[in-house]
Structure 1
Amino acid sequence: MIALLKAIHIVALALWCAGLVLLPLLIQRYGRRAEIREQAGYAEFRWLTHRAYVGFVTPAAVVAVTAGTILVFALQVLDSWMLAKLVCVAGMVLVHAWLGHLIVQAGEGRGAYRLPPAGLALLAVVPLIGLVLWLVLAKPAPDALIALFPEALMAPRNQPLPGFLEPL
């Protein structure tokens, strides 16, 4: 049962990540062409982006997150790398929502040629996907993850930070 859940999670995550990379490329490439300003070109662009988002990317995201959540509870994975992975996945969800917002803006008459550059989503999502992959495969020790944070964030609780006022 666990192997089946892992397989479902990996396949859904791969499809979701592919969609998060391809949707900005699709919006950038076809959303700024001259023929998009004509009704036929705009209808094709709108149909393509809407169907890709609603029929492919979002279901893959829901399945990936659901299967991953079930796996976390079934295997009781409570390591620090899992928390870091969940933070990265939350970032991927935010990029996913922003892409959906851009698609809705294009469909509500604002026009795809006036949208902000969807390629910005690639700047956010590609490092997040790479970080998720690294965290899952390397499963770094807590010390490796702690080294990523500034020293000020690692100060003990109820202790003053260097250079700040004493607590009252």
Structure 2
Amino acid sequence: MVAGLKYLHLAAMLCWCASLVALPLLLHFYGQIWRGKADSSQTQARYAEFRLITHFGYVGFATPAAVIAIAAGTGLIFADQVFDLWFVAKLTLVAGMALVHAWIGHLILTSGEHRGLQNMPSALWALVLGLPLMMGVLWLVLAKPDLAWVADWMPDFMLAPRGQSVGQP
């Protein structure tokens, strides 16, 4: 069961990360076409193609991959009993990836409503933000570093038990 969850989690994470790289590139390069000197019929055809690819890529591929990756990862938390500090750091980076994912969705929606991203920041910022997050997740999962030194920086109330345990009523 754990091996199946790991496989599902890994496959979904690969799909999600691939879409977090591909969608900003699509937004950027299709935006270059709109600013080009093409005739109106070609521009309309390219725009329709752009809307179809980005909408399906986000709604039909990236978002389901993200949901499956997070659901399988949540199952792995309890199946493997992983409660280390490196894992908390990984969850923080995954939350950042989810924010980048949401921002890409905003850019896709805005590009459809305003026929382009003229007054928006470059979609390549999603790569600048997303790639370090993805690399950080990969490093944390493979290295599983001992982050006990982080506890020295935390306030005492964050380290003290609250008088409850998982097994106690």
TM-score under structure 2 length normalisation: 0.83
**Structure 2 equivalent of residue 163 of structure 1:** none
Query: Compared with structure 1, are the counterparts of its residues 88 and 42 closer, same or farther at alpha carbon in structure 2 (3 Å cutoff)?
Result: same
- Counterpart mapping for 1:133-148 below 5 A: 133-143=138-148, 146=150
Letter in 2 for 1:92: M
**Structure 1 equivalent of residue 97 of structure 2:** 92
Residues of 1 paired with 2:47 and 2:19: CA distance? 21
Taking only aligned residues, the RMSD between alpha carbons, in angstroms, comes to 2.0
SS at match of 1:61: helix
**Structure 2 equivalent of residue 124 of structure 1:** 129
Unaligned runs of 5+ in 2: 158-169
**Structure 1 equivalent of residue 32 of structure 2:** 32
Tell me how far 1:143 sits from its aligned partner. 3.2
**Structure 1 equivalent of residue 10 of structure 2:** 10
Query: Compared with structure 1, are the counterparts of its residues 39 and 80 closer, same or farther at alpha carbon in structure 2 (3 Å cutoff)?
Result: same
Residues of 1 paired with 2:17 and 2:58: CA distance? 12
Q: Is the 8 A contact 1:95 1:121 kept in 2?
A: yes
Q: Is the 8 A contact 1:27 1:118 kept in 2?
A: yes
TM-score under structure 1 length normalisation: 0.83
SS at match of 1:57: helix
Letter in 1 for 2:22: L
Letter in 2 for 1:141: D
Query: Compared with structure 1, are the counterparts of its residues 6 and 39 closer, same or farther at alpha carbon in structure 2 (3 Å cutoff)?
Result: same
Aligned residues: 152
Cα shift readout 1:93-134 (whole Å, capped 9, x = no counterpart): 000000000000011125234432000011111100110001
SS at match of 1:112: coil
Query: Compared with structure 1, are the counterparts of its residues 84 and 13 closer, same or farther at alpha carbon in structure 2 (3 Å cutoff)?
Result: same
1:47 pairs with 2:47? no
1:73 pairs with 2:78? yes
Which of 84, 107, 113 is the equivalent residue of 2:112?
107
Residues of 1 paired with 2:87 and 2:11: CA distance? 19
Residues of 1 paired with 2:108 and 2:39: CA distance? 14
Residues of 2 paired with 1:36 and 1:106: CA distance? 20
Q: Is the 8 A contact 1:32 1:112 kept in 2?
A: no
Residues of 1 paired with 2:14 and 2:26: CA distance? 18
